[in-house]
Amino acid sequence: MKYLFFIILSMAGVYASAQIEDYRLGSIPPPFEAGDAIFSAVEVPAEYPGGGEAVKAWITANLRYPETARLNGVEGHVGVRFVVEKDGTISHIHLTKRVSKELNEEATRLIESLPEKWQPATIDGQIVRSYFNIPVVFRLK
């Protein structure tokens, strides 16, 4: 019985060292599969058509400063985080930094009403779901 245990233990060691050697010889890892995961770090980030300047210009042109906030002198930036889906639509809008009820609602409205689909992010050439953060700035002049 001792010999059988020794033989099994020896075989396990040989098998394990064969796997290590296989890795050292440059075995290729399995292909990347994103599934439905949502990524924070990607190779090529999601992008709005025309880039960051285009989305910033659209937000600035369509921002409606809430009257109550204007009268009370409320300013600041609302941090908005959302998911850019594989088809370029956005979902799961979440505020990461809040200022006031009115400004928070306006920031959410702006992001929900972006007119064009995004170019989704990629990892290893595969389109993936990814998080995207945008600050919506409210500044009185």
Q: What does the domain layout of the chain look like in residue ranges?
A: 1-30, 34-138
Query: What are residue 132's phi and psi, to 5 degrees?
Result: -140, 140
Architecture of domain 34-138: 2-Layer Sandwich (3.30)
> Is pLDDT above 60 for 9?
no
> Is pLDDT above 70 for 65?
yes
Strands 121-123 and 126-138: antiparallel
Q: pTM of this prediction?
A: 0.74
Average of pLDDT values for 21-47? 72
Cβ-based neighbours of 131, under 8 Å, separated by 6 or more:
38, 39, 40, 81, 82, 83, 84
Confidence of residue 78 (pLDDT cuts 50, 70, 90): very high
Give the pLDDT score at 45. Answer: 97
Query: What are residue 130's phi and psi, to 5 degrees?
Result: -145, 155
Q: DSSP character for 65?
A: -
Average of pLDDT values for 1-29? 45
- Of 27-36, 55-64, 106-115, which range is least confident? 27-36
Picking from 98, 93, 61, 96, the residue whose alpha carbon sits closest to that of residue 76 is 98
Confidence of residue 29 (pLDDT cuts 50, 70, 90): low
> Is pLDDT above 60 for 59?
yes
**Could you tell me the two tokens for 35?**
């599934």
